[in-house]
Amino acid sequence: MNLKNHGENKSSTIAKYEKIALDIAYSILNDEWKVGEMVKGRSTLSGKYSVSPETIRRALKLLEELQVVNVIEKKGILIKSKEAADTFIKEYQSKDRILSLREDITKLMGKKNEIEKLVFERLDSVIEQAMLLRNIGIIYPLELKISEKSHLVGKSIGAVRFWDHTGATIIGINRSGHLHLSPGPKLVFYANDIILYVGNDTNISDKVDKYVNRE
C-alpha cells in the first residue's frame, strides 16, 4: 500500500517508519481509527504498508512515546488520543518543512559557490586585461584605421614586413571593438581594423599612414 500524501514535501528525508507513523496519526485524526479502538497487531500493519515488522515496531514506538497509541502485547494497538495524534502531525509537518528548507539552502549554497567561482574567474580576466592595457598606456600607442582599399587587406602581419617598411612595431589590433594584443605574424589584416603601433621616429605616423593606406 502506498502511503497517503499528507502534504509533505516530495524531497523530504523523513524516514520510512516516521512516514508510517504519520499516516497512522492521520488515520486517527480522520476517525478512520477511533479512540478506544483496538487495532490488530504489527503483522497486519506490516502487510498493509508492505514493510518489515521492525519498521512497524519503530513507527508504533514513536507514536507510543507521544501517547498517541498503546501497544498491548498479544492483543493489539490501542488508540489512545486524537489530540496527541494531531500534535504529532503538526510536529512532523514542522520537521518536514525544516528538512526541506535545509535541502533548499544546501542547493543554494552550491549555486552560490559556482557563481563565486565564475566571478573570481572573470575578475582574474579583468585584472589581466587591465594590466595589459595599463602597459599599453605607458607606451602611448598611435592608431591608424585600415581603409577598405588598403593593400594590407587580406594579408598577414608577417607577409607585409610592417616594421621593415615603416620602422613601427604593431602592439595591437582593434577589430570591431575587440582588442588583439601583441598579435602574431599570422594575423590577417581586415578593412577597418585599427592598428595600434609604436615607433621612435618623429614622423612615424606619416610613414605608417603612407604605407598602410597605399592602394
Instruction: Return the amino acid letter for 70.
Output: N
Residue finishing a domain among 103, 125, 159 = 103
Q: What is the pLDDT of residues 93-119, one digit of tens each?
A: 887 777 777 888 888 888 888 888 887
- Comparing CA positions, the residue from 158, 154, 156, 143 lying closest to residue 208 is 143
- Please tell me the distance from the alpha carbon of residue 84 to that of residue 98, in angstroms, as a whole number: 21
Let me know whether 87 and 156 are in one domain. no
Q: What is the pLDDT of residues 173-184, one digit of tens each?
A: 999 988 888 888
**How many other C-beta atoms lie within 10 A of the C-beta of residue 119?**
10
Any idea what the CATH number is for the domain that residue 41 is in?
Answer: 1.10.10.10
Indicate whether 152 pLDDT > 90: yes
Let me know whether 25 and 99 are in one domain. yes
- Asked if the structure places residue 124 within a domain, the reply is no
Indicate whether 153 pLDDT > 90: yes
Any idea what the CATH number is for the domain that residue 166 is in?
Answer: 3.30.70.1450
Let me know whether 20 and 99 are in one domain. yes
Let me know whether 20 and 95 are in one domain. yes
- Asked if the structure places residue 132 within a domain, the reply is no
- Asked if the structure places residue 5 within a domain, the reply is no
- Asked if the structure places residue 10 within a domain, the reply is no
- Asked if the structure places residue 154 within a domain, the reply is yes
- Asked if the structure places residue 127 within a domain, the reply is no
Cell 526541506 belongs to 100
Residue finishing a domain among 103, 128, 155 = 103
- Please tell me the distance from the alpha carbon of residue 27 to that of residue 34, in angstroms, as a whole number: 9
- Asked if the structure places residue 1 within a domain, the reply is no
Q: How large is the average pLDDT for residues 152-172?
A: 92
Residue finishing a domain among 54, 77, 103 = 103
pTM of the model: 0.43
Let me know whether 35 and 97 are in one domain. yes
Let me know whether 145 and 198 are in one domain. yes
Number of domains in the chain: 2
Q: What is the pLDDT of residues 6-57, one digit of tens each?
A: 654 444 456 889 889 999 999 999 989 899 989 877 777 888 888 888 999 9
- Please tell me the distance from the alpha carbon of residue 186 to that of residue 99, in angstroms, as a whole number: 60
pLDDT band for 1, please (50, 70, 90 cuts): very low
Let me know whether 95 and 46 are in one domain. yes
Let me know whether 74 and 153 are in one domain. no
Q: In this structure, what are the phi and psi dihedrals at residue 63, rounded to the nearest 5 degrees?
A: -70, -35
- Asked if the structure places residue 7 within a domain, the reply is no
Indicate whether 157 pLDDT > 70: yes
Let me know whether 146 and 192 are in one domain. yes
- Please tell me the distance from the alpha carbon of residue 136 to that of residue 143, in angstroms, as a whole number: 12
Domain that holds residue 177: 141-212
Q: Are 204 and 142 in contact (CB under 8 A)?
A: yes
